[in-house]
Structure 1
Amino acid sequence: MKAIMVQGTASDVGKSVICTALCRILANEGYRVAPFKSQNMALNSYITEDGGEIGRAQGVQAEAARTIATTDMNPILLKPKGDMVSEVIVHGKPFANMDAVSYREQFVEEVMPLVRSSLQRLSQQYDVLVLEGAGSPAEINLKARDIANMRMAHETDAAVILVADIERGGVFASIVGTLMLLDEAERARVKGIIINKFRGMKELLDSGITWLEEYTNIPVLGLIPHIDVQIEAEDSMALSSLRLKKPQAEEFPIDVAVICFPRISNFTDLDPLMDEPQVGVRFVKSVAELKNPTVIILPGTKNTVEDYEWLEKTGLAQAIQQHVQKGTYIFGICGGYQMLGETLIDEEAIEASGGRTKTLGLVPLETVFVAEKQTVQVSGQLSTGEQVTGYEIHLGRTRANDLVKPFVQLHDGRTDGVRSDDDRMIGTYLHGIFHNRQFTRNYFNRIRLEKGLATIDTAVQSEAERREQAYEMLDVHVRRHLNMELLYTLIT
């Protein structure tokens, strides 16, 4: 098995992006390459062609590698639900809800044969595996049960590249400290260091790099300058560094307020809004922050019931109802769509403690939670004739009366979502709906007209074209700043 592994000094240092870059670089060099992450904790997930749920990063990396994502690329996915409990997804399907202690003490060793089977299948299909670690390999209180970092490097005999984020400060201490906390066999696996997200003059860092290489006896493979490349994030930590556009009226006359639920999930749904001209995007957690937006978006959530209760406690539920009465546009996605209705029915305690929860009551529909999760890629047609694609991830089954207009007619025969006659209110289960760039442009053009702004009628680049452009840009950028000759020697 030829494999290389990217680990980090901490979470959100850029491991996923570096892995994405390596997948595209190796694919462009003619390798059959596949990503792999044994265990992933993420709120942004990806649906494979056969309906399996994996971490979004591995889905993106598979695209960069020009291959089809499978559940073997991320056999274990943990989706936090709050209170130290996560939904455990095994090979793309829900397995159980577990607390952290039960998972680590009882489940980790049981699942290792499944992880090895995934590795075995991938090694038979691909030339090179690009493995991604999780968090840091030096969490000494967790190392005994850590199956995402050095244990995978040992399993695959992979050379490890250690990535550090210089933007955080203390980059040399973080690298040296991580190496000091590894045991001898683990340190021997680290064959290269990448300093990521650099801004400034390289010459000012040269002496530090020389010292680091001499002190650790490990080469620095590259100093990667910061780049604003549009690669989707999977970690909720990335919310703090999202490329948000501040709602200054003169620059962004269309103000979009996104309700930042405590258990927000699949927030990559919002990425396309960052590219839409004249549209400002901000996350809000209180009535004071809500102010007077043009559009309110209720995004996905890992727990609709508990996040709606939070909406009530904060006063945001009442504020949203008042805004709708004033004519504010509102758009609900997945859990946010469920909240637009009248009732959440959770008699079997699928999401919370069970029972019925009254919701916003903006449209006559109710949602019943069931044990079987709906995970599927979908496509369909809007009433305007536009074709859209997306994916569903939800436990609820939403029922509306015959008077409610559906948002989209799916090609599998079902209808999805709701829409008002003037499209001021839209609800849908389709994650990725805004990634249909023509739909997004048309949606905001209607708002532009209403506000007396000129519509934007230039051609819209498709999502597939944008993503391909981003992967190629990432290839060029990372390749330019890496010691590629040394990198190739590390692929064992």
Structure 2
Amino acid sequence: MAKAIMIQGTMSNAGKSLLAAGLCRIFKQDGYKVAPFKSQNMALNSFITEEGLEMGRAQVMQAEAAGITPSVNMNPILLKPTNDVGSQVIVNGEVLGTMSAREYFQYKKQLFPKVMEAYHELEEEYDIIVIEGAGSPAEINLKQEDIVNMGMAKKAHAPVLLVGDIDRGGVFAQLVGTICLLEEEEQNMIKGMIINKFRGDKTILDPGVAALEEKTGIPVVGVAPYMDLEVEDEDSLTERFSNSGEVGLIDIAVIRVPRISNFTDFNALEVIPGVSVRYVKHSAELKNPDMIILPGTKNTMEDLLWMRQNGLEASILKKAAEGKVIFGICGGYQMLGETLSDPEHVEAGGQMKGMGLLPMDTVFQDSKTRTRVQGTFPKVEGILHTLTGISLEGYEIHMGKSVGKEGACAFTELTDTVTGSSKPDGAYYKNVYGSYVHGIFDKEEVAKKVIEGLGEEKDIDVSQMTGVDFAQFKETQYDKLAQGLREHLDMKKIYEILEQGI
């Protein structure tokens, strides 16, 4: 049976996901079969497995670091917020329903057997399981029936490494305060602490580390540096969204709608030298981009209303009239049509006018499309004519169906790799393009041809701005992460903790 180690944090965004991925990579490099696990994840960034099941993106990233195929067993419960007080609950990759926070809090203990079934399946297949917690184990109002932090650690007999984020300040208070709020049995399960995101001269920190160890009786097993890495973020706390100003030779503006999802769609564009990908929330930030992208969203109608009220819709329509490329993905694609209808109250209910940039209508349906696809761009016209004949692959996650009207041309021809069926996807009209496919830019040739088309329009030479094999690029980033952690973590001590368990 697998041995387990668990990464818990003093708060959200302390760096748990990245550290877990780094340990997965290190254990893999050291010859072990390793898998990630997180019993319950809350994020709008999700992924579709080869079987057509939905899971959190962080565990996909960690599985890639471990060199294995992602499985929903690695993330049996995914919560996708639909508003400020409720979430869509996904269990073993399939939608269970939508619940308020209180409803889910009362119901979640019924899901723990499914969590443990998934964990035991991994336990039988792998040598090591790296478990990630959520938020903080010291959320004393949520500790009852906990299934994701200490409750999971107890069931898995997993020693815990507690991570604090020094970049936000107060790291010693974070770590000591978290430990003090735990029960004695839980305190004893913490076998090591990690100070994360450190910048500067570590020797200045050493007296604080010594005092921390003396106060808690728990060793600090590493001070991990702030690392400049390009890996796929889990949630909206990502620092990518702070990039709203710097403009590159080719400038792309992504509309930062309130319920943005699957923003990892744009990572492949971000790593191309000379390309700026800016996240824009206000009309004043839009400037004069070469392409505007409307991203996926968990609530298309409400996010379109938000754009309509703050003036972004009008600014985008003006740029479209000027001939700029407008590109919509999933919910962003739905917004570009003429009407949005929600007869089954999947979102807000009722009907509203779309942006009118694509001749098509969308009707929301209670059933969820959830699959992987591959295909090609057939004949494409306009600025992105460079995509004609290029192959693509990705995945679909959406509620609703869009039907083209006279004047709309299919943007892609797809094969559903789960069912084997073929279908057209998306639409384009003049310089407006839309598709349901997440990950549409991930293949090197697709990203390269998009930049090539934008460069032609500006009459500039983009020959040096080569595309990147994004899958291979991520491999280099995981190796860089592992190397950085090996240099700053006491891996000998971490292996001892893993062996001893609790």
TM class, shorter-chain normalised?
A: over 0.9
Match of 2:439 among 394, 409, 432: 432
Q: Alignment partner of 1:350: what SS?
A: coil
Opposite residue 195 of structure 2, the aligned amino acid is: I
- In the TM superposition, residue 291 of structure 1 has moved relative to its aligned partner by 3.1
Secondary structure of 2:445's match? helix
User: Are 1:390 and 2:394 an aligned pair?
Assistant: yes
Q: Kindly state the Cα deviation for residue 287 of structure 1 after the two structures are TM-superposed.
A: 2.3
**Residues 342, 366 of structure 1: 8 Å contact kept:** yes
CA–CA distance in structure 2, aligned partners of residues 351 and 309 of structure 1: 12
Q: Using the alignment, how far apart are the partners of 1:157 and 1:363 within structure 2?
A: 55
Segment of structure 1 superposing worse, 373-382 or 2-11: 373-382
Find the counterpart in structure 2 of residue 134 from structure 1. Answer: 134
Q: Equivalent of 1:484, from 481, 485, 491?
A: 491
Once the two structures are superposed, what CA deviation does each residue of 1:26-46 show, in whole Å capped at 9, x if it has no partner?
Answer: 111121111110110011111
2:353 to 343, 358, 372: 358
In 2, the alpha carbon distance for the partners of 1:69 and 1:369 equals 29
Superposition pairs for residues 191-340 of structure 1, below 5 Å?
191-238=191-238, 240-242=239-241, 244=243, 246-248=245-247, 252-340=248-336
Q: Distance in 2 between matches of 1:267 and 1:134?
A: 21
Using the TM superposition, give the Cα deviation of residue 232 of structure 1 relative to its aligned residue in structure 2, in angstroms: 0.5
Indicate conservation of the 8 Å contact 1:245/1:280, yes or no.
no
Q: Residue 145 of structure 1: SS of its match in structure 2?
A: coil
1:199-251 Cα shifts (integer Å, max 9, x gaps) = 1011111111111111111111111111111110111111x455737334xxx
Cα distance in structure 2, aligned partners of 1:317 and 1:2: 52
User: Counterpart of 1:95?
Assistant: 96
Aligned counterparts of 2:146 and 2:222: Cα–Cα separation in 1: 27
TM (norm. structure 1) is: 0.95
Provide the residue aligned with 1:451 in structure 2: 458
Q: Specify the SS of the correspondent of 1:434.
A: coil
CA distance in 1, matches of 2:273, 2:66: 31
Q: Name the structure 2 match of 1:404.
A: 408
Q: Which residue does the alignment assign to 1:20? A: 21
AA at the equivalent of 2:405: N
Q: Distance in 2 between matches of 1:457 and 1:426?
A: 26
Does the CA contact (< 8 Å) of 2:25 and 2:479 recur in 1? yes
Aligned counterparts of 2:371 and 2:403: Cα–Cα separation in 1? 19
Q: Which amino acid aligns with 1:482?
A: L
1:78-93 pair list within 5 angstroms: 78-93=79-94
The question of whether the paired residues in 2 share the 8 Å contact of 1:43 and 1:79 is answered with yes
| Maintained 8 Å contact 2:295/2:332 | yes
Aligned residues with identical type, % of pairs:
48
> What letter is aligned with 1:246?
G
SS in 2 for 1:136: coil
Aligned length: 484
Asked if structure 2 preserves the Cα contact closer than 8 Å seen for 1:337 and 1:428, the reply is yes
Is 1:56–2:60 an aligned residue pair? no
Kindly state the Cα deviation for residue 398 of structure 1 after the two structures are TM-superposed: 0.9
Amino acid in structure 1 at the alignment position of 2:262: N
Structure 1: unaligned runs, 5 residues or longer: none
Match of 2:74 in 1: 73
Q: 2:475 aligns with which of 468, 473, 492?
A: 468
User: Is 1:41 paired with 2:69?
Assistant: no
- 1:372 maps to 367
Q: Does the Cα contact within 8 Å between 1:246 and 1:281 map onto a contact in 2? A: no
* Deviations 1:110-164, CA, capped at 9 Å, x for gaps: 1111111111111111111110000000011111132110000000000000011
Letter in 2 for 1:125: E
TM-superposed CA distance for 1:267, in Å, is 1.1
Q: Is the 8 A contact 2:447 2:467 kept in 1?
A: no
SS of corresponding position for 2:477: helix
Shift of 1:427: 0.5
Structure 2, unpaired ranges of 5+: 379-387, 417-421
**2-side partners of 1:28 and 1:89: how far apart?**
32
The code of the aligned residue for 2:433 comes to: I
Q: TM-score of the superposition, structure 2-length normalised?
A: 0.94
